[in-house]
Structure 1
Amino acid sequence: MLMLWLALAALPLPASGFSFEDVIDKARALADESYQAPTPIPAFLRELTYEQYQGIRFKSENSLWIKSDARFQVMLMSPGLYFKHPVVLHEVDAEGVRPITYNKTDYSYTNEELAKRIPADLGHGGFKLTYPLQGPDSRNQFLVFAGASYFRAVGRDNSFGLSARGVAVNTGLPSGEQFPSFTEFWLVRPDAKSETMTVYALLDGRSLTGAYRFDVRTGDNTVMDVQSRLFIRSDIEKLGIAPLTSMFFYGGNTARPRGEWRPRVHDSGGLLVHNGVSGEWLWRPLLNPKSLKLDYFQTESVQGFGLMQRQTNFEDFQDYGANYHRRPSAWVKPKGDWGKGRVVLVQLPTNNETNDNIVAFWTPDEPVREGQSLSFDYSLKVGGPSVSGGDRARAERTFVGDGNRVGGGTVEGAYRVIVDFAGGPLKDLSADAPVTSAVTAGGDAEVIEHFVEFLSPVNRWRLSILAKPAEGQPLALRAFLKNEEEAVSETWSYDIPADNDILGEAR
């Protein structure tokens, strides 16, 4: 009996019974109350410039578990600039749950006058997780929770780029988007050898509340197993599950803005969708449209979707400051059957690279009504472009040009479209393999020609398409490669808006 007692005593103690159910209960009760927007921070902090906010720096020696041997450490963040209201932070361990108090001396300030004005009870703006990714003595930031329901992650070799969110509400609708916020977090202290850390979060918004559990592990990629429970306060026209937000200014498939010398500028190059019923892997290169553009991809039992950065060489961007070639890809993989729904791609116009203008999420076909309780569990993997696990040849590059000039063709009003495929079943084929293309156009558009050739210098297969849209209409194309009669590539899907700069003038 004594040996049994000693063995039990050596096990970690439960945190006073605290669990995900406590967060769920809190979210459920909150949904029965009228919405109260978070109290904003003082105006002078909301109006800081980016440089001024960067001058408020958390001292790493004050990290939450710095005196322990835990691989995971927590750096705190000040409110300010984009982070316009404080959040409540708790630490959870074997001794119970206790608040993580704010202390302005945990920070250094490059502007002493600004430091004097910061209230002693300002509160936390968010937090960053660190882990020894680059060696046992390193503390590398790999996950940040800050701003509404946003969070950002990277893998071992990435720079920060795209963001994820807890939820999206009415994104892209004329009624205006709502931005629910994570208002409270519980950080579960891991032991020294743990490779997983758990974070709980409470979400509050005008039309819904939510409880979230994130089980986080990192390495070459960062993987988060996410459990979400949503409680609907009022009808929602378009509910976005597992939203991803990114930036696309221009790429190889678009005209380069006047004066720009870099070949591409984007955090993500395309949307990838894996449909559960058909098994199709669909690739949609991104655009910077002249006006709001919404695309819907119907799915039944969706198997995954994500925003991907497939150009990973410095030469693709030539920007040593922004390091766009190191920006991560992100892949959402549902757990269980989410049912019928659509992956939505929202693309907004932007005239620079500082605005996130791309959003992708899954939305259910069934209406979302007041009083409903919804559950969506999924994994989110962030890292290199292989995070999707797809086994088809990938559409690596898309180029679009005039179909009525040397190298393009001799058809006025047509477009020459080039798509390079590589990897998957194409990888080991000989140059004379019978690879052909299947190409279709939507509406009254005409596919004039298409053919495939092997590019031996780069070991890629190039699909060349000459197509012409109907007068004043966009050009919608779909294509994939076949080896004899077997599909060997993703389905490349592309939409050239009628109003574009590719032919030298708006059409």
Structure 2
Amino acid sequence: MILKRLACSLLWVMPLAVEAQEFQFQTVIDKAEVLAGSAWKAPKQVPRFLQELSYHDYQGIRFKPESSLWREDEAPFSVMLIPPGLFYQHAVGINIIENGEAEPLAFDKTQFSYPNSEIEKLMPADLGFAGFKLTFPFDAPDIHNQFLVFAGASYYRAVGRHNNFGLSGRGVGVNTGLPSGEEFPAFTEFWLEKPSADAKSLTFYGLLDGKSLAGAYQFTVTPGDETSMQVKSVLFPRQEMELAGIAPLTSMFYYGENTLRPDGEWRPEVHDSDGLLLHDGASDEWLWRPLNNPATLTMDYFATEQLRGFGLIQRDTDFRSYMDAEAGYGTRPSAWVEPEGDWGQGHVVLTQLPTPDETNDNIVAFWTPDTKLQAQGPHTFSYTAHFGAADVAGSPMARAVDSYLGDGKRIGGGDAEGAVRVIVDFAGGPLDERAADAPVTGDVTALEDGELIEHFVEYVPALERWRLSMLVRPVPDRPLSLRAFLHEGEETLSETWTYQLAPGSDVLNVIN
């Protein structure tokens, strides 16, 4: 189940050679519906020597920046192309839309440089592309910054102006986390609309195909301090879908302040995201779940009656929390998915897988409807995906900025055998308006029959935070499970912090 970075299943097909033809989004929708009415066919793989390239040799195949699409037109956007090989084992069709007509983009091997003459000689002249990268001048008109990459199944990665690449988005998820095994549908063809010279946004389209469904997508992306992408998706399942994942986000969490540090690790924390945030409109509750690196696969379902948004957030952006000058974890983007319209009742699903290091994307979050998607469709979901700073969701509530766990029977932790001391620091929102002696209290619930021994709230001047301290004893062989928020009288001040540790987790093992 662990997803190796960039090593996603790739299901690309080559486009047929056709002349320019009139194009609109309905063109892609019609193609998806036709695909869904027939059996799925596995695409043709690229030559074996490309699949077996070493990482170093594949990285040595580089697209020449001067060959970027639209670069010579001095357009604000340009397109760099990605070669198949190594992880990218199938080609994807790319078409260019200009004046309302679409024309296939031909592969040209001279647009790439190669690590050696042998690879260049073997490279087929009609190979095709694995995907594309979009650039935009964030810093200066003549500097083309990469801000969006589509490559690998239905995966894409996006950043805001001040971010480095980190977590990924996906077109759709199929049976993520289920024992039956996850499927990886792929974008098999793209249509990119040539932008005007003063364009602030770029529109493109994708055709998705997989064993269980086909789909049509329209993307309109606007880069900036926060990069936003409006998505319209029309899905046509080939069969009833057991677990459809809408607007999936994929990230990495190795360890953080709420876990033990692995033996031999010198860095305080290592993760691309440190929590799941969601907002349900029916209750107007903002909920925060710190991420974990579990001992075994875990799946958590958060009920939503009227989803307003969900995302994977890199809330801790302080370099000192990571001390890794190369990885730059503090600059990884946060992502927030904002539905358009009412998606109905469903659940935000958080899937967490164990990982022995930071090379695995082991976190997946998505929304799934309570009613399973039926065969044929269409099923339409529109939303905007935002990528940027930690406050990308715009929550008005005080936020849980740090979570710590330790032994509840030692100096500084307590004197309760088998208990866990849990510390949560809150800051921001309405708390900024409170005096240090304000009567802020915590509302804490111990779930799974756990025993809440004590809890209290205090202001910590050195950090300018409000600290909720809890001492809780979980039932043996049951999860440590808690919900908590801060309030003053009848006024809720903070988001709801929720946490769960399965039996066998590192912290519980140490305590017990």
Q: What TM-score range do you get, normalising by the shorter chain? A: over 0.9
CA deviation string 1:203-248 (max 9, x = no partner)? 0011100000000101101100000000011121000000000000
Give the secondary-structure state (helix, strand or coil) at the position aligned to 1:178. Answer: coil
Query: Which residue of 2 is the match for residue 10 of structure 1?
Result: none
Length, aligned pairs only = 493
Give the secondary-structure state (helix, strand or coil) at the position aligned to 1:481. Answer: strand
Query: Which residue of 1 is the match for residue 212 of structure 2?
Result: 207
Once the 2 structures are TM-superposed, how far is the Cα of residue 52 of structure 1 from its aligned partner?
2.3
State how far apart, in whole Å, the 1-side matches of 2:507 and 2:52 are: 39
Code of the residue aligned with 1:57 in structure 2: it is: R
1:253 to 241, 249, 258: 258
Code of the residue aligned with 1:480 in structure 2: it is: F
Say if 2:413 is the partner of 1:408. Answer: yes
What does 1:333-412 correspond to in 2, within 5 Å?
A: 333-412=338-417
Code of the residue aligned with 2:459 in structure 1: it is: F
Query: Which residue of 2 is the match for residue 98 of structure 1?
Result: 103
**Structure 1: tracts of 5 or more residues without a match:** 1-14
Once the 2 structures are TM-superposed, how far is the Cα of residue 29 of structure 1 from its aligned partner?
1.1
Query: Which residue of 1 is the match for residue 41 of structure 2?
Result: 36
Q: Which has the higher contact order (CA 8 A, sep 6+)?
A: 2
Code of the residue aligned with 1:271 in structure 2: it is: L
Code of the residue aligned with 2:115 in structure 1: it is: T
Which sits farther off after the overlay, 17-26 or 176-185?
Answer: 17-26
**Structure 2: tracts of 5 or more residues without a match:** 1-19
Code of the residue aligned with 1:21 in structure 2: it is: Q
Say if 2:143 is the partner of 1:138. Answer: yes
Query: Which residue of 1 is the match for residue 5 of structure 2?
Result: none
1:466 to 458, 464, 471: 471
Once the 2 structures are TM-superposed, how far is the Cα of residue 95 of structure 1 from its aligned partner?
6.4
What does 1:191-270 correspond to in 2, within 5 Å?
A: 191-270=196-275
Mark the CA change 1:17 to 1:105 in structure 2 (over 3 Å): closer, same or farther: closer
Which sits farther off after the overlay, 423-432 or 248-257?
Answer: 423-432
Mark the CA change 1:241 to 1:189 in structure 2 (over 3 Å): closer, same or farther: same
Say if 2:97 is the partner of 1:66. Answer: no
Query: Which residue of 2 is the match for residue 22 of structure 1?
Result: 27
Q: Percent identity?
A: 57
Once the 2 structures are TM-superposed, how far is the Cα of residue 49 of structure 1 from its aligned partner?
3.1
State how far apart, in whole Å, the 2-side matches of 1:81 and 1:411 are: 54
Give the secondary-structure state (helix, strand or coil) at the position aligned to 2:31. Answer: helix
Once the 2 structures are TM-superposed, how far is the Cα of residue 172 of structure 1 from its aligned partner?
0.5
Once the 2 structures are TM-superposed, how far is the Cα of residue 457 of structure 1 from its aligned partner?
1.8
Once the 2 structures are TM-superposed, how far is the Cα of residue 506 of structure 1 from its aligned partner?
8.1
Give the secondary-structure state (helix, strand or coil) at the position aligned to 1:256. Answer: coil
TM-score of the aligned structures, taking structure 2 as reference length: 0.94
Query: Which residue of 2 is the match for residue 478 of structure 1?
Result: 483
What does 1:134-173 correspond to in 2, within 5 Å?
A: 134-173=139-178
Query: Which residue of 2 is the match for residue 278 of structure 1?
Result: 283
State how far apart, in whole Å, the 2-side matches of 1:360 and 1:401 are: 27
Once the 2 structures are TM-superposed, how far is the Cα of residue 81 of structure 1 from its aligned partner?
2.1
What does 1:65-84 correspond to in 2, within 5 Å?
A: 65-84=70-89
State how far apart, in whole Å, the 2-side matches of 1:470 and 1:504 are: 14
Once the 2 structures are TM-superposed, how far is the Cα of residue 450 of structure 1 from its aligned partner?
0.8
State how far apart, in whole Å, the 1-side matches of 2:244 and 2:352 are: 17
CA deviation string 1:163-221 (max 9, x = no partner)? 00000000101111110000000000000101010010000011100000000101101
Once the 2 structures are TM-superposed, how far is the Cα of residue 504 of structure 1 from its aligned partner?
5.0
1:295 to 284, 293, 300: 300
Say if 2:119 is the partner of 1:114. Answer: yes
What value does the CA root-mean-square deviation take over the aligned residues? 1.2
State how far apart, in whole Å, the 1-side matches of 2:212 and 2:401 are: 40
Give the secondary-structure state (helix, strand or coil) at the position aligned to 1:458. Answer: coil
Contact 1:498 1:506 in 2 (8 A): no
1:501 to 492, 502, 506: 506
Once the 2 structures are TM-superposed, how far is the Cα of residue 453 of structure 1 from its aligned partner?
1.1
Code of the residue aligned with 1:188 in structure 2: it is: E
Contact 1:16 1:94 in 2 (8 A): no
State how far apart, in whole Å, the 1-side matches of 2:23 and 2:224 are: 28
State how far apart, in whole Å, the 1-side matches of 2:231 and 2:78 are: 20
State how far apart, in whole Å, the 1-side matches of 2:100 and 2:37 are: 31
Code of the residue aligned with 1:90 in structure 2: it is: N
Give the secondary-structure state (helix, strand or coil) at the position aligned to 1:361. Answer: strand
Query: Which residue of 1 is the match for residue 12 of structure 2?
Result: none
State how far apart, in whole Å, the 2-side matches of 1:300 and 1:186 are: 35
1:177 to 170, 178, 182: 182
Code of the residue aligned with 1:398 in structure 2: it is: S
Once the 2 structures are TM-superposed, how far is the Cα of residue 444 of structure 1 from its aligned partner?
1.4
Once the 2 structures are TM-superposed, how far is the Cα of residue 368 of structure 1 from its aligned partner?
2.1
Give the secondary-structure state (helix, strand or coil) at the position aligned to 2:49. Answer: helix
Say if 2:445 is the partner of 1:440. Answer: yes
Query: Which residue of 2 is the match for residue 307 of structure 1?
Result: 312
Query: Which residue of 2 is the match for residue 45 of structure 1?
Result: 50
Code of the residue aligned with 2:385 in structure 1: it is: L
Contact 1:500 1:506 in 2 (8 A): no
Once the 2 structures are TM-superposed, how far is the Cα of residue 405 of structure 1 from its aligned partner?
1.1
Query: Which residue of 2 is the match for residue 454 of structure 1?
Result: 459
TM-score of the aligned structures, taking structure 1 as reference length: 0.95
State how far apart, in whole Å, the 1-side matches of 2:454 and 2:186 are: 50
CA deviation string 1:347-400 (max 9, x = no partner)? 000001000000000001002222221000000000001111110001111111
State how far apart, in whole Å, the 2-side matches of 1:111 and 1:269 are: 41
Give the secondary-structure state (helix, strand or coil) at the position aligned to 1:294. Answer: strand
Once the 2 structures are TM-superposed, how far is the Cα of residue 84 of structure 1 from its aligned partner?
1.6
Code of the residue aligned with 2:426 in structure 1: it is: F
State how far apart, in whole Å, the 1-side matches of 2:300 and 2:509 are: 25
Which sits farther off after the overlay, 38-47 or 256-265?
Answer: 38-47
State how far apart, in whole Å, the 2-side matches of 1:336 and 1:485 are: 31
Query: Which residue of 2 is the match for residue 126 of structure 1?
Result: 131
State how far apart, in whole Å, the 2-side matches of 1:29 and 1:192 are: 36
Code of the residue aligned with 1:180 in structure 2: it is: P
Give the secondary-structure state (helix, strand or coil) at the position aligned to 1:296. Answer: strand
Give the secondary-structure state (helix, strand or coil) at the position aligned to 2:156. Answer: strand
State how far apart, in whole Å, the 2-side matches of 1:276 and 1:479 are: 19
